[in-house]
Amino acid sequence: MQQLVKCGLILTGLFLGRLFPATAQEVQPAARDSNNVIHIIQSDKLNVLTKDSIQLNRFIGNAIFRQGSTLFYCDSALINRASNILDAYGHIHINQADSIHIYGEYLHYEGNTRMATLRDNARLTDGKVTLSGPELQYDMNARIGTYVKGGKLVNGSSVLTSQEGYYYADTKDVYFNYNVLLVDPEYTLSTDTLLYNTQTKIATIVAPTTINDGKTVMYATSGEYNTETGQGNFDSRPTIEDSTATITADRITMDKRTGLAYATGNMVYRDTAQHMTLLSNYGTVNQTEKTILATQHPLMILEREKDTLYLAADTLFSGVLKRDTFTVAPVRSSTDTTVSVDSTSHIPDSIRAPLRDSTETLPADTSAFAKKLKNALAPGDSSKLIPAMVVPKDSALITLKRNAIGIISDTAKAMAILRDTTRALKADSILLSKDSAVVSLKSRALAARDSMLAQPPKLAVQTDTSATKDTSEIRYIRAWHHVRIYSDSLQGVADSIYYSSKDSIFRFYRNPILWANETQLSGDTIFLYTKNQKADKLLLDQNALLVKESDPQLYNQIKGNQITGYFAGQSLDWMHVDGNAESIYYVRDDDSAYVSVNRTLSGIINIYFREGQLHHISFIKDPEGTMYPFTQRPLDQMQLENFHWDIRRKPKSKYELMGTMSEAKIKEEEKPVPKAEDEF
C-alpha cells in the first residue's frame, strides 16, 4: 500500500514537472548531503525499476539533472539512489559552471566522488581547447580530464595525439604520455612524454623529443618550446640538424622567426658537406643564412683523408656566399695578362689582400726561338739534346724557363716533366756558376718545349662558369686574432685567416708564419692553395723568407720578393724563389762537421725536395756567391734582411690548440726524439 502511494506521488510530481519544469519536484533521500545529491530538473517519463532488491529510477526523454553548479543533459538515464550513481545514454552534455563542457554517447557518473566517465565520441572543451577520445574521465572536484585509451587535443591549428592524456582545467596544463605527436602546419613534434600549456602554448620537454619543421630537425631531452612563436630553450645536450650541418651543445636557445640559435657549453658544429667540425664554448648559428659565429676557445677541424687540419683562433666565423654577389674581378700581372679570380669584396678591408700572380708573358721572339729549339733536336728523338748549342744568359731561354715555372708549372703534365728532369741531377748538385746554371736550365726547357708548343699555357686560376648554373653551396671561413693551425705536415700562426671553398685557398694575414718539414716560411701574406682537400701550392707574397735551424744559432736562410712552393702528396716537392733571391747555407762534410758558409745572390732560386727533405738547390739568372770558411764567417752577415726565428710560436700538437696542455705534454713526451739532420 505504501509503495503504491509513493509511486503515485512520483508520477504526480513528474506530471507537474512537465507542466511547470522550473518548479518540478526532485526525488531525493532526506538525509543525503545536498552537495552530492543529483537533482532531477526534468524528464518526459519516469519509471521505477527494482533489480536484485535495488531500486532504480529510469528517466526517458529530454532528461536534465543538476548537482551543485553542474548540469547533466541526456536522452535517458538510470539513477541508483542508494549508491548515488547516474548512468546516462544518448547526446550526453555536461555543463560545469559554463566553463567546461563534456560530450559523449554514454555517461557513468558517481555522485559521491563526482567522477564522470564518458564513452563513444567523448570530448571535453573549455571553448578554446578540445580534448577527445574513445573514453574520457573527468574529475569534477579536481577539474581534471583524462583519457587512457588514446585521444587527441586540438588547440587552434595544433593537434596533439597520444595514448594517455591528462588535462588540468584550472592551470590549462596537459600531460601527454606514450606515442605523443604534435602536428602543426609549420612543424611536427614527437616524443613519449610531454607537458603542454594550452594557454601559453609552451611545450615542456621531459623525454627524448624530435621537432621537425621540414628544413631542420631538433633533438632534445629537456627544455621548453613555444609552439606558437617557435622560441625554445633546451638543455641536456640538444641537437639541431639540417641537410648539411648539425649543432650540439649543453644548452641551445633558438628562435625560428629570426632563424637564430645560441649554443652554450661544449658546442659541436658539424658541416657534413665540407667535412668540417667546429668546437667552441659558445656559438651563434643563423639557420636562415647558414652562418655560424664561434667564440670562447673555438677550434675548427677540417677533416682530410690522411692529414686533418686543426685551426684555432679567438673568433671563428663560417658562412655561405650568395651567388648573386659573385663578381669576377680582373687581376693583372706586370704584363697586363688578365686572369679571373673570385671577388673579395665581401671580405672586410682589415683582412682583404689582392691575389697576386707572378706570371709573365712570353717575349715577342718566343715563336722564333722555339722553332730553333725544334730544329736543334734530332728527328724522332725529342730527348736528344745538342750540347754544343750556346745560349746567352739574357736570351729568350731564360724568359721561357721563367714562364715554364710561372705559367705551366700548375698543370699536371708540366709538373711531371720538370720533376722527372730535376730528379736526374745529382743529389749534391748546387749550381753556383752562370754557365752551369744555363746548361741545367737549357736541358729542362728543351724537355718542356713540346708541351709548350702543342698548346698555349693554361693559367692556374678558376675559369668563369657563370653560364652553367651551380646550386652547390660556396662556404667560406674567417678567423680573427691569435690564429693557429696544426696538421702533421703543416703548422702555422697568423693574426687572421680567410678561406673559401670557391677557390680552395687559405689566406693568412698580418705576420703569418708556417712551418713545413722543420722549415719556417713567412711573408707579408701567405696563400695556401688546396686541391681535393690536400695542400697543392703555397705562395709567400712580399718579403718572403725561409729559415731552417741547422744548429743552435746557425740558420739556413732563403729570401725573395715571392716564394712559391709546390706539394707532392703531403710534402713539399719544390719551391721557386722569384725576385732579389738571397740565401745563406751552411755546408757540412761527410762527418757532419761544418766546413763553410755560402752566401748567394740570384734573380731566381729553385729548391728541390725528395720525400720532404732537401735534394738540391739551383741558382738562376746572374748568380753571385761567396763562400766563407766556417771559422772565418762574418757573424754580422749571417742573417738576411728581416730575419726572424719564431719557433716558440709554432704549435706543437693538436692538443695545444684544444687547450689541454697537460695532454699535449704527455703526448709530446711519448714521441721519440728526432735525430739531428743536416738537410735544409
What does 331-377 look like in DSSP terms, one character per residue? EE-TT--EEEEE--TTS-GGG---------PPPTTHHHHHHHHHHHS
Question: pLDDT class for 33, splitting at 50, 70, 90?
Answer: low
Quote the Cα angle for 431-561-448, to 5°.
50
pLDDT at 75: 95
**Looking at this protein, which amino acid is placed at residue 382?**
S
Alpha-carbon Rg for the chain in angstroms = 43
pLDDT at 51: 75
Pick the residue with more confidence: 53 or 260? 260
Per the prediction, the chain carries an average pLDDT of 75
CA proximity to 103, closest of 114, 88, 91: 91
Of 171-185, 256-270, 464-478, minimum mean pLDDT range = 464-478
| 3-state secondary structure string across 540-567 | EEEEEEEEEEEECCEEEEEEEEEEEEEE
Q: What is the mean pLDDT of residues 476-497?
A: 91
Pick the residue with more confidence: 536 or 353? 536
pLDDT, tens digit, 9 for 90 and up, residues 291-321:
999 998 999 998 877 778 899 999 999 988 8
pLDDT, tens digit, 9 for 90 and up, residues 384-429:
332 332 333 333 333 433 443 343 334 444 444 444 444 433 333 3
Task: Check pLDDT > 50 for residue 680.
Answer: no
Pick the residue with more confidence: 227 or 29? 227
Grid cell for residue 623: 748568380
Give dist(CA 19, CA 16) in Å, integer.
5
Strands 231-235, 173-184: pairing is: unpaired
Main-chain phi, psi angles of 210, to 5 degrees:
-120, 125
pLDDT at 200: 92
CA proximity to 525, closest of 509, 501, 539: 509
Pick the residue with more confidence: 199 or 612? 199
At a CB cut-off of 8 Å and minimum separation 6, what does 630 contact?
586, 594, 595, 596, 597
Task: Check pLDDT > 80 for residue 439.
Answer: no
pLDDT at 590: 85
- Which regions of 52-84 does DSSP assign to beta strands (E)? 54-67, 70-80
Q: Is 466 helix (H, G, I), strand (E, B) or coil?
A: coil
Task: Check pLDDT > 50 for residue 610.
Answer: yes
Q: CB 117: neighbour CB atoms within 10 A? A: 17
pLDDT at 678: 41
Q: What is the mean pLDDT of residues 90-100?
A: 93
Helix count and strand count (H, E) for the chain: 7, 43
Give dist(CA 25, CA 4) in Å, integer.
18
Q: CB 157: neighbour CB atoms within 10 A? A: 11
Of 137-141, 367-371, 384-388, minimum mean pLDDT range = 384-388
pLDDT, tens digit, 9 for 90 and up, residues 547-588:
988 888 899 889 888 899 888 876 778 888 988 888 898 988
Main-chain phi, psi angles of 198, to 5 degrees:
-75, -15
Among 112-121, 406-415, 417-426, 523-532, which range has the highest average pLDDT? 112-121
Strands 260-271, 245-248: pairing is: antiparallel
pLDDT, tens digit, 9 for 90 and up, residues 7-32:
443 443 443 344 334 333 344 443 44
pTM above 0.75, yes or no: no
Residue carrying the nine cell digits 752577415: 637
208-217 long-range contacts, CB within 8 A, separation 24+: 211/187, 212/187, 212/188, 213/186, 213/187, 213/256, 214/187, 215/242, 215/243, 215/287, 216/240, 216/241, 216/242, 216/287, 217/241, 217/242
